[in-house]
Structure 1
Amino acid sequence: MTPRGPAAYLAFMNILASPSRWICCVLLAFLHAVAVGQTVPRSSLDARLLTPRLYAGAPPPAWLDDGAARARTAVRLLRDAPLHGLDPARYDTEGLARRLDDVTDAVDALALERDLSTAMLQYLSDLRFGRVASGYRPTADVAEFDPVEQLRAALVSGRLAQAVDAAAPPIAMVKRVEATLARYRALADAYPTWQPLPPPAPRTSAGARYAGAALLRERLRLLGDLDAAAPAGAGDVYTPELAAAVRRFQARHGLEEDGVPGAATLAALAVPPAHRVTQLELTLERLRWLPRPPRGRVVVVDVPAYRLWAFDVDEAGGPLLEMRVIVGAAARTPTPLFIGQMRRVEFNPFWNVPRSIERGEIIPKLARDPGYLAKNDMELVGPSGQAMADAPGAALAALRAGTARVRQRPGALNALGAVKFSMPNPMNIYLHSTSAQQLFGRSRRDLSHGCIRVEHPAALAQFVLADPARWDADAIAAAMRPGRTLVVPLREPVPVVLFYATALTDREGRALFAEDIYGLDEQLTQALRAD
């Protein structure tokens, strides 16, 4: 009878332990790589191309020499892929498990070992670098994290589980999002769909009757916005406790925090947990795209959440700053996503109007109103960088010909406000203040031409300048008062990460969700399906 299952491994031990085992494994891996060599990998790393290097080292992988204990550990770890927002089917986990119980000969064993190695290499690669290559890091940094060396060391030490843990990016947010993912996955299993909430009367307030009060109370308890011990009150009364829970829900979802279950709030409450699971999985993918966090001060902007966080990587605790922002309009000028280096702060800056805005907005307005530039405290600038005289009719002709450009002088009308945070980049994107502070009260804030308007520019200036002796709050307030332009170089560049995540977890463990304003979640979902 042909040996099967674990007993087969002992029967073939002498073959597998011989020098020919290494040669066969290398040959199988090489042939496998040749077979897929014509395929352009969609992943940031394609493990099929890593496997030959694993087998070229010494000692070769030994999944079956210990009675398959390592192999079974690997299958268990691959089955846990959903905990990290990954799909175990991508690694043929169940196929590997079946083959593990059904090995018939040495060739089967060698092929299984090779495929198990490839699966684990892909798993480690996906955990560190993501499944899809990103613009933040177009190629995986193997010098930072080499899946081949990590797996080889784990096999030698017998620490496969620790290797999986070490593969996760060294970003605190990853573990927080994974914990939230586990909660929402359990919710999705228990509640594949939500029962619809009935619309309340207009401007329902605390104490009013609401037919959906009992269902809303249950929903908010499940989502963690209403404490289980909160008094229920009469079944159809919209109690103060329920209104407070709605405000907490609204705060987590970027909605107007009025405590009223209006249309936008009901729409967010109707989103099924399975969709939230997808959002959290996409966030984990995007977090893996980021390079290793630099030391020191960092500014992060989550575009769909309209939020900015500033923190010091070297200091424990929460962010030093958090504020609302205004980002690029989804329909016309979405904010690009990249990592920039903030290098200087400009107080009372000129606004050098981009050519696209000149063509699309200023030239048409100037054609209708010859006094438009003067009314908006704007001036023409020639090729030498000097201001030009605004002769009647000459401005329009010069702008159309491209022999002059427009800039707006510092002052109350300046679109950049009192301070600009400059980070040189080809797209001319930067952070700045604004005189239209009332816009920060809106729940949807994709309103700009692409740059990012910050709610508290003085606090951000103090953070990035990081020089309390010279640049305390009073000195910054003085520099922001109307007057001459002052450019202050930063002592060290501050990385600015323009990020996109519609699901995050804060340090208190609260799940934060945002609208997919640019439609990038759907794009990423399609890319992952195609991978």
Structure 2
Amino acid sequence: MLRQHLQAAIALAAILFGNPGAAPAQERPDQALVRTLASAPLQVSTAHAWNGRDWLDRFYAPRGYAPAWNRQQAEAALALLEQAPAEGLDPGDYQADELRRLLDDAQASQARRDVAFTAAMLHYLADLRLGRVRSEYHTAGTDPRLAHFDPVELLRGALGKASLADAVAAAEPQVPLYGRVKQALARYRELAREPQPRLPSPRKTVAVGDVYAAVDELHDRLVLLGDLAGDEPGPQDGLYDATLAEGVRRFQGRHGLPETGELGAATVAALNVPLAQRVRELELTLERLRWIPDLPAGPMVAVNLPAYRLWAFDRANPAAQPLEMRVIVGQAVKTPTPLFIGQMRYLEFNPYWNVPRSITLKEVIPKLERNHGYLATNDMELVGQGGVTTTVSAETIAELRSGKLRVRQRPGPRNSLGAIKFAMPNPQDIYLHSTPNREFFLKSRRDLSHGCIRVEQPAELARFVLRNDPRWDIDQIQAALQPGPTRRVDLPATVPVVLFYATALAGRDGKALFARDIYRRDPQLEQALKEHSDAAASK
């Protein structure tokens, strides 16, 4: 048994490794063993979000490889690791059970125990801040956040003057949303312990005054989820009443459903989603929030793609109410909007729409071949080295296909970008813009674009990004949105735009918000996390 404990300690200590230096002549046996363990090799998977090859050695070298932990600190570390589920993390990834056995094994050497605890806490702090798997924001190379976040220094300080709990708090992503999602996760863990009888799906939509066989169960479910107050009177005579309808409307609003207050098949299906699944969705969101790069204080725009929602706010003033609006994003099947961090640099009032080549080849050319009047009908023109033309012929279609000509749409009421474009130059040619098709914002499912993001309140968003420019008030913006010549306005300072993906969030009121997994990203993340845990378990 002792041999197994020692082997487990060695395996755990090899979670991270560094480059050993030459041992001093008068080194104690425990220091020599710490030095050896701190240099143990580890093959870190390239799928992991970080690579701490030298962290153990950097931690121990300044202290001459002397052990760093006492019993009280080790107990505190174990308590924190056992609370990892509160962060959406798995204590098993940090071998918490092995650490407990190692701590209680009187025959285990101090050096092995010490390095094991250091390795586990460095691993935990790094996962907490950087995530367990690589995101689309950091696809290759060293994560730039490591220039400002060093788990080694954080742990060293915690064992010196600060506390381990303070180190964990400092390692958490520093975005307000993270704390709100953590609180929602804790609440849904409690809710998931309650029985959840399945509600029957109605044969037809249930409206106020209709009979629904499970009105009592529906009432209890809405109270459990917080969409009805606990002191609301229960339904009478099996009738779906106005109180229930209001609770259903709140539930629908939190789950991305049309807020009709009527009970249909889609609403009942959402009510029947196991709360354990909602717990997992919140856990996945915490992982995704760990991917978001560190951003400076100041204005920023964030778009959650599956929620079809945009927020604009100032990180220097977190108490201020953010600007919030509905958006339309890329089609799930054909043109999903990618995740990335953009920098909004300028606006264009009355912009031309330069039709992307992919749309030209797949959509415009086939329409031109069927109808040579397509350009005129849609206020479009062809642009090339010879200038601008509206002539459609076999020759111009061939030049379009070869790339010698391109299509653009003139400013005006038919322009697909509407009256304003919010430019953030990027290789994917993704940007935010208004739209003449305002009726689309009323749809509950709004993955309808070719990849760019259409915003519901373009004037308000323009006012937000131009609010520090005294030349632009809301009246001037409204005037610029009227038909007229194209006008470019450079922003006084770039504004970060974060395109992220989360099927579970928490509002400013703390209530959990859920969205459909339109791009089927949740199973992809589940698989990546499973591979991560399997790799950790095999070490």
The two structures have a TM-score, normalised by structure 2, of 0.90
Q: Which amino acid aligns with 1:179?
A: Q
1:102 aligns with 2:105: yes
Aligned pair count reads: 506
In the alignment, the residues of structure 2 paired with residue 328 and residue 400 of structure 1 have an alpha-carbon distance, to the nearest angstrom, of 24
Evaluate the alpha carbon distance shift between residue 393 and residue 323 of structure 1 in structure 2; reply closer, same or farther with a 3 A threshold.
Answer: same
Does the 8 A contact of 1:307 with 1:322 survive in 2?
Answer: yes
- Residue number among 331, 336, 339 corresponding to 1:337 in the alignment: 339
> In structure 2, what is the equivalent of residue 510 of structure 1?
511
**Aligned residues of 2:375 and 2:390 also touching (Cα < 8 A):** no
**Cα gap change, 1:86 to 1:315, in 2 (>3 Å):** same
Residue aligning to 1:267: 269
Q: Whole-Å Cα distance in 2 between the matches of residues 243 and 515 of structure 1? A: 22
Equivalent residue for 1:44, pick from 41, 49, 60: 49
Does the 8 Å CA contact 2:302/2:310 hold for their aligned counterparts? yes
Match of 2:80 among 55, 69, 77: 77
Q: Distance in 2 between matches of 1:137 and 1:397?
A: 40
Root mean square deviation, CA, Å: 1.9
Contact 1:300–1:310 (8 Å) recurs in 2: yes
Aligned equivalents of 2:175, 2:434: Cα separation in 1 = 29
**The 10-residue stretch of structure 1 (365-374 or 326-335) with the greater mean CA deviation from structure 2:** 365-374
Amino acid at match of 2:481: M
8 Å CA contact 1:418–1:480 kept in 2: the answer is: yes
> SS of 2:47's equivalent?
coil
Tell me what 1:303 maps to. Answer: 305
| Residues 434 and 100 (structure 1), Cα distance of their counterparts in 2 relative to 1, 3 Å cut | same
Contact 2:348 2:420 in 1 (8 A): yes
- Contact map agreement 1:309 1:319 (CA 8 A) in 2: no
Q: Note if 1:149 corresponds to 2:158.
A: no
Sort the Cα spacing of 1:126 and 1:105 in 2 relative to 1 into closer, same or farther, 3 A: closer
Which residue of the partner structure matches residue 31 of structure 2?
Answer: 22
Alignment CA distance shift 1:102-1:314 (3 Å): same
Counting only pairs closer than 5 Å after superposition, residues 347-496 of structure 1 correspond to structure 2 as: 347-383=349-385, 386-390=387-391, 392-467=393-468, 469-496=470-497
- Name the aligned partner's letter for residue 168 of structure 1: E
Amino acid at match of 1:311: F
Change (3 A) 1:161 1:345: same
Is the alpha carbon distance of 1:93 and 1:235 closer, same or farther for their aligned partners in structure 2, counting shifts above 3 Å? farther
Q: Report the counterpart of residue 10 of structure 2 in structure 1.
A: none
Q: Which residue of 2 aligns with 1:288?
A: 290
Query: 1:171, 1:293 within 8 Å by CA — same for their partners in 2?
Result: no
Query: C-alpha deviations, 1:276-313, integer Å up to 9, x for none?
Result: 11111111111111122322110000000000000011
Residue deviations 1:329-376 (CA, integer Å, cap 9, x gap): 000000010000001110110000000000000000001111111111
Partner of 2:58: 53
Distance in 1, matches of 2:166 and 2:251, equals: 36
Check the 8 A contact 1:46/1:122 in 2, yes or no.
no
Alignment check: 8 A CA contact 2:49 2:131 kept = yes
Sequence identity percentage: 52
SS at match of 1:410: coil
When residues 21 and 235 of structure 1 are mapped into structure 2, their CA distance, relative to the original with a 3 A threshold, is farther
Counterpart CA distance in 1 for 2:436 and 2:390 is 28
**Is 2:299–2:312's contact at 8 Å kept on the other side of the alignment?**
yes
Once the two structures are TM-superposed, the CA of residue 430 in structure 1 deviates from its matched residue by 0.3
Once residues 235 and 514 of structure 1 are traced to their aligned partners in structure 2, the CA distance between those partners, rounded to angstroms, is: 34
Instruction: Output the CA distance in 2 between the equivalents of 1:103 and 1:487.
Output: 72
Give 1:388's aligned amino acid. T
In 1, the alpha carbon distance for the partners of 2:31 and 2:408 equals 69
Q: How far has the Cα of 1:147 moved from its partner?
A: 0.4
Q: Secondary structure at the match of 2:435?
A: coil
Instruction: Report if aligned partners of 1:124, 1:147 keep a CA contact under 8 Å in 2.
Output: yes
Q: How much has 1:431 moved relative to structure 2?
A: 0.3
CA contact (8 A) 1:45 1:122 kept: no
Give the structure 2 partner of residue 206 of structure 1.
208
**2:57 partner amino acid:** P
| 2:168 maps to which of 141, 156, 164 | 164
- Conserved in 2, the CA contact under 8 Å of 1:29 and 1:51? yes
Contact 1:283/1:503 (CA < 8 Å) preserved in 2?
yes
The CA distance in 2 between the partners of 1:274 and 1:40, in whole Å, is: 29
Which amino acid in structure 2 is aligned with residue 255 of structure 1?
Answer: L
Counterpart mapping for 1:62-141 below 5 A: 62=67, 64=69, 66=70, 68-106=71-109, 109-138=110-139, 139-140=142-143, 141=145
Letter of the structure 1 residue corresponding to residue 262 of structure 2? V
Contact 1:307 1:324 in 2 (8 A): yes
Asked whether the 8 Å contact 2:67–2:111 carries over to 1, the reply is no
Partner Cα distance (2:527, 2:158) in 1: 33
Displacement, 1:19?
A: 3.8
Query: Structure 2: how far apart are the matches of 1:477 and 1:374?
Result: 28
User: 1:382 and 1:41 mapped to 2: Cα distance?
Assistant: 45
Alignment of 1:167-206 (within 5 A): 167-191=171-195, 194-206=196-208
Distance 1:359 1:173, change over 3 A: same
Secondary structure (helix, strand or coil) at the match of 2:149 reads: coil
Residue number in structure 1 paired with 2:531: 530
1:400/1:159 CA distance change after superposition, 3 Å: same
| Distance (whole Å) between structure 2 residues aligned to residue 309 and residue 249 of structure 1 | 21
8 Å CA contact 2:346, 2:488 repeated in 1? yes
Q: Which amino acid aligns with 1:200?
A: P
Look up the SS of the partner of 2:422 in the other structure: strand
CA gap of 1:188–1:470, structure 2 versus 1, over 3 A, is: same
Q: Is the 2:380–2:390 Cα contact (8 Å) retained in structure 1?
A: no
User: Offset at 1:103?
Assistant: 3.3
What is the CA–CA distance in structure 1 between the aligned matches of 2:305 and 2:118, rounded to whole Å? 38
Partner of 2:11: none
Question: In structure 1, what is the Cα distance between the partners aligned to 2:78 and 2:503?
Answer: 31
CA distance in 2, matches of 1:369, 1:404: 18
Change (3 A) 1:41 1:100: farther
Residue segments in structure 1 that go unaligned for 5+ positions in a row: 6-16
8 Å contact from structure 1 (residues 22, 55) kept in 2: no
> 1:200 Cα deviation (Å)?
2.6
Query: What amino acid is aligned across from residue 148 of structure 2 in structure 1?
Result: E
Distance 2:464 2:162 in 1: 46
SS of residue in 2 equivalent to 1:69: helix
Q: Is the 8 A contact 2:252 2:259 kept in 1?
A: yes
Aligned to 2:17: none
Q: Give the Cα–Cα distance (whole angstroms) in 1 for the partners of residues 112 and 468 of structure 2.
A: 61
1:213 to partner: Cα distance: 0.6
Structure-1 residue corresponding to 2:15: none
Deviation for aligned residue 1:158: 5.4
CA offsets 1:460-487 (integer angstroms, 9 cap, x no match): 1111112463211211111111111111
**Counterpart in 2 of 1:217?**
219
